[in-house]
Structure 1
Amino acid sequence: MTGGMNRTLLSLLAAVSLVGCASKQKTPSVTDEAPNAHRSPTATAATPTRNTDEDEEAARGAMGSLAADPVYFELDSATLRPESRELLAQLATGLRERPLTRVTVSGHTCELGTTEYNIALGHRRAAVVRDYLRDLGVESSQLSIVSFGEERPLSESHSEESFRQNRRAEFTFSSPEQATRGAL
């Protein structure tokens, strides 16, 4: 593998592990988390100009961090619920205000159905969320999708509630600034 691919895979792994550690809230929400109050020193090859420092600081302050609850789907469906549309409208506002932020939408399914079917359904779920965000004015360059199908369940029990929790689309956020600092 190339160095770039290794960094990308490492960044994705770190982001996924952070998402796995998050606790689920009962009501859907989009959260603006406060940006870091202090700035860690970074080594540079050349002395930065005042404009570069100011631009970097302005971008960091304007971007902040985003977090959003998962979007849930009905069995065998990739149709957005009304409450999901509200959540996505809030998320779209945050993404439009932070053009440096990138989001990966991951589609998931419960274990019902074949692996191939579930990968395709997870892809449709992620795509409908991405398309809705685009319709709300989020730049295409900020959005990417991936499908995990049934491979990353939130719950592995065989109850209906478990199946409902696993039929979802989740969000992983990153920015070029986070990647250069290794903060993913």
Structure 2
Amino acid sequence: MNKLTIAMVAGVALVATAGCAKKRPEQLPPGPGPTTPTPAPTPGPGTGVVPGSAADFKRSVVSDTIHFALDQYDIDPEARAVLDSQARWLAQYPNVRITLEGHCDERGTREYNLALGDRRANAAKNYLAARGVSPSRITTISYGKERPIALGSNEAAWAQNRRAVTIVLN
């Protein structure tokens, strides 16, 4: 009788813990791609700016930031022009890696804004990938409403905070 009780308790414990197992995500993120050493660039003649650097990126592209409408993550024509200039620059420097940061305004819950910021960063990543930039060179991160660029609780500040920013990694 004692062995039967122990076996039943063990069986109930196994069934109870089986429901608590962590579920595997539907889609796994890609693994790290192969890395090749990037030679150290030398400054351009008379500029002091190193070609392929973050400073060169900011100087060469239309902007490092695209903006979004309220609760949106679609790429509008203005954002396309910015991302097209970024794609052209990235094509010149195939070893440069970037991070796309997704941001939101202060409205909404933390969880909602983190998810929306992620969709914004990934929308920009997908657009750049469609323009020939290897997705393995692009990482994304969402900051939600945690890193506002403009302080204030009005439409002007909110519009500046709804953005995706491209950061060149050196």
Q: Normalised by the size of structure 1, how large is the TM-score?
A: 0.61
Say which of 52, 55, 60 aligns to 1:63.
52
Task: Say if 1:107 and 1:126, in contact at 8 Å, map to a contact too.
Answer: yes
- Confirm or deny: 8 A CA contact 2:103 2:145 kept in the other structure: yes
Q: Does 1:121 align with 2:122?
A: no
Structure 1 residue 72: Cα displacement: 0.1
- 1:109 equivalenced with 2:92 (yes/no): no
Is 1:137 equivalent to 2:132 in the alignment?
Answer: yes
Q: Does 1:87 align with 2:65?
A: no
CA distance in 2, matches of 1:140, 1:150: 25
Unaligned runs of 5+ in 1: 1-33, 39-60, 176-184
Moved runs in structure 1, 4+ residues, more than 6 A? Answer: none
Question: How big is the alpha-carbon RMSD for the aligned residues of Structure 1 and Structure 2?
Answer: 2.1
How far apart, in 2, do the equivalents of 1:144 and 1:86 lie? Answer: 21
Query: Which one-letter code corresponds to 1:173 in the other structure?
Result: V
Normalised to the residue count of structure 2, the TM-score between the two structures is: 0.66
Bigger fraction of residues in helix: 1
Instruction: For structure 2, list consecutive stretches of 5 or more residues without a partner in the other structure.
Output: 1-40
Larger Rg: 2
Quote the residue 1:36 is aligned against: 43
Amino acid at match of 1:141: S
Count of residues paired in the alignment: 121
What percent of counterpart residues are identical? 36
